[in-house]
Chain A
Amino acid sequence: MAYFLQQLINGITLGATYGLIAIGYTMVYGIVGMINFAHGDIYMIGAFVSLVGFLLLGALGITWVPLACLLVLLFAVGFTAVYGWTVERVAYRPLRGSQRLAPLISAIGVSIVLQNFVQLGQGARVKPLPPMIDGSFELSSSGNFHVTISYLQIGIILLTVALMAGFTYMIRFTGLGRAQRAAEQDKTMAALIGVDVDRTISITFIIGAALAAVAGLMVTLYYGVIDFYIGFVVGIKAFTAAVLGGIGSLPGAMLGGMLIGLIEAFWSGYFSIEYKNVAAFAILVLVLIFRPTGLLGRPEIEKV
């Protein structure tokens, strides 16, 4: 039971980061109907910018951890959002209105470009960051097994919940959210009542990149190691999460992320850690076979 609880905590932490990244996939899919395969690499950029941010602050002598984390958070979000905006502007917008596959191929290209860019600029070796936030609560202990939740895990979970709540509120109740939902349903009509659809799409990419940057920062702090290739597997897993929850559905992305995180944690806890990716992707296959619209997705009804 104690072991179960520990894996549950680990799974939720992991699921929180997947959920944040999955939102970017699902939101972009909803509004432009493409899978942004470069999104995982945007997350990787977020992780690297965070690392650079911490090193810069260290050089400047700002070592008070909460302040450093806050500054790096803002820095990473701002910087990565610029990447998100640029990618859309340069690689996707010119292809809008061409055939469906074109932006997809373009996205794969962007993904390769970003990976190689970071590999060349930062080197191919794994980059370590010394642990910054230590300490944890002990929830229970039986014999010599202690169930703990670290301050960092608490921070990750709280920040994710806050971001998701704020984001849900924005989509449901603000003008921007309404414009996004309108553009999602009928871009032409949205433009004809005065919505600047191009700008709305840009903002969508910026928000997606910002959330991915937060996930990047969290993972950098949590695991302490990053390299230029981390975006690939995590990106695919977050995509799996989005599909599992029902692509296009925001609550679906959050739920899917959580489920993938839990599956991974429990699988590596009870079966084998080597096959955790197999478990996650097997879920993707099963979902696509038995419930192609995902858990919370609605089937698209073509009107005749």
Chain B
Amino acid sequence: MMVAPVLSVEHLTIRFGGLLAIDDLSFEAAPGDITALIGPNGAGKTTVFNCITGFYKPDVGRMTFRRESGESFLLERMDGFRIARAGVVRTFQNIRLFPGMSVIENLMVAQHVPLMRASLYSVAGFLRLRRYLDVEKQAIERARYWLDKTGLLDQADVPAGSLPYGAQRRLEIARAMCAGPSLLCLDEPAAGLNPRESLALNELLLSIRDEHGISILLIEHDMSVVMQISDRIVVLEQGRKISQGTPDEVRSDPEVIRAYLGVEDEETAVAVLQGQGARG
């Protein structure tokens, strides 16, 4: 690979008591790519996310995150909020907005770091100094931009907790983008979306990649999402990597067909992997 990967995971191993949750996993995510992590339930996909974002400290292994500027960070040595500040931002399988805050406030709090710096830890903000107001204006513009992208602009002042489910999912992605990531980690963003919503999600993710040059790491069960938008796919089973490659390569890998969903019947497995049976 010519370009240095945005994320390299090397020999990642983590054990919970007697359970080997991740077993010597190595993979890379190229900058500007959508890299998908797929695999049956319990394969360890979310555990990988939890390691990358600082929830779990791996027993063995190294995770290197590189920014466009060339700076690199060893994620296993960093606190969660420092990882986020470095530019790795994630969403959760179950939605975790700040339900009591308004939609726009959810996006403003994601821009906490630049705002706090500009406001000299709220002193300038309190005094409404010019310099702070400019930064705040930019933050509001950024928030409005992402609200517009996600179709939530007319609900900016609604409490986030009262939005419908699909809108909450989109707001989570908008909030993650407002935190200014270089690598966006999405844990099942299409879960619970109807086909129309998941189509809109595809477009949103593609535009994040193409217009903003953000790399995406994606966990997803919905194959219609994975196969259509991923550049590379990494397949996990029981904590080990069993395959990787482009959607076409992975789709035709017999090992994946065998493992995925544990289907004996090859035709069904192929149908699932092609995204036809994903909701059936």
Stretch at the interface among A44-52, A112-120, A140-148, A190-198: A190-198
Tell me whether A191 and B101 are in contact in the complex, defined as CB-CB below 8 angstroms, given that A174-B122, A176-B121 are known contacts.
Answer: no
Stretch at the interface among A53-61, A66-74, A177-185, A236-244: A177-185
| B96 contact from A179, A186, A194, Cβ within 8 A | A186
B169 at the interface (CB under 8 A from A): no
CB distance from A169 to the nearest CB of B (A): 8
Residues of B within 8 A of A175 (CB): 108-109, 112, 115-116, 119, 122, 125
Instruction: Give the CA-CA distance A169 to B127 in the complex, in Å.
Output: 11
Instruction: Give the CA-CA distance A170 to B123 in the complex, in Å.
Output: 10
B80 touches A195 (CB 8 A): no
Residues of B within 8 A of A190 (CB): 98, 109
Residues of A within 8 A of B115 (CB): 175
Residues of B within 8 A of A170 (CB): 122, 126
Instruction: Give the CA-CA distance A131 to B280 in the complex, in Å.
Output: 82
| A186 contact from B98, B112, B119, B176, Cβ within 8 A | B98
| Interface residues of chain A: helix, strand, loop or mixed (majority) | helix
Interface size class of B (residues with CB under 8 A): 20 to 34
Residues of B within 8 A of A177 (CB): 122
A278 at the interface (CB under 8 A from B): no
| A189 contact from B98, B100, B116, B125, Cβ within 8 A | B98
Residues of B within 8 A of A178 (CB): 101, 105, 108-109, 112
CB distance from B135 to the nearest CB of A (A): 10
Residues of A within 8 A of B165 (CB): none
**Interface positions of B from 61 to 104, Cβ below 8 Å from A:** 79-81, 84-85, 89-90, 92, 96-101
Tell me whether A174 and B100 are in contact in the complex, defined as CB-CB below 8 angstroms, given that A179-B116, A192-B89, A193-B175 are known contacts.
Answer: no
CB distance from A67 to the nearest CB of B (A): 23
Residues of A within 8 A of B97 (CB): 189
B113 at the interface (CB under 8 A from A): yes
**Interface positions of B from 3 to 31, Cβ below 8 Å from A:** none
A115-133 Cβ-contact flags toward B at 8 Å (1 or 0): 0000000000000000000
Residue tally, chain A, CB below 8 Å to B: 24
B81 touches A197 (CB 8 A): yes
B208 at the interface (CB under 8 A from A): no
B168 at the interface (CB under 8 A from A): no
B113 touches A194 (CB 8 A): yes
A154-192 Cβ-contact flags toward B at 8 Å (1 or 0): 000000000000100110011111110110011011111
Residues of A within 8 A of B122 (CB): 170, 174-177
Instruction: Give the CA-CA distance A151 to B80 in the complex, in Å.
Output: 51
A185 touches B81 (CB 8 A): no
Residues of A within 8 A of B84 (CB): 191-194
Instruction: Give the CA-CA distance A258 to B90 in the complex, in Å.
Output: 44
A185 touches B98 (CB 8 A): yes
Instruction: Give the CA-CA distance A186 to B175 in the complex, in Å.
Output: 14
CB distance from B139 to the nearest CB of A (A): 9
23 CB-based A-B contacts, threshold 8 Å:
A174-B122, A175-B119, A175-B125, A176-B116, A176-B119, A176-B122, A178-B101, A178-B109, A181-B105, A182-B101, A185-B98, A190-B98, A191-B81, A192-B80, A192-B84, A192-B90, A193-B84, A193-B112, A193-B175, A194-B81, A194-B110, A194-B179, A197-B81
Q: Which 3 A-B pairs have the closest CB atoms?
A: A176-B122, A175-B115, A191-B81
Known: A181-B101, A186-B98. 6 other contacts (CB 8 A): A176-B122, A179-B109, A182-B98, A191-B81, A193-B175, A194-B113
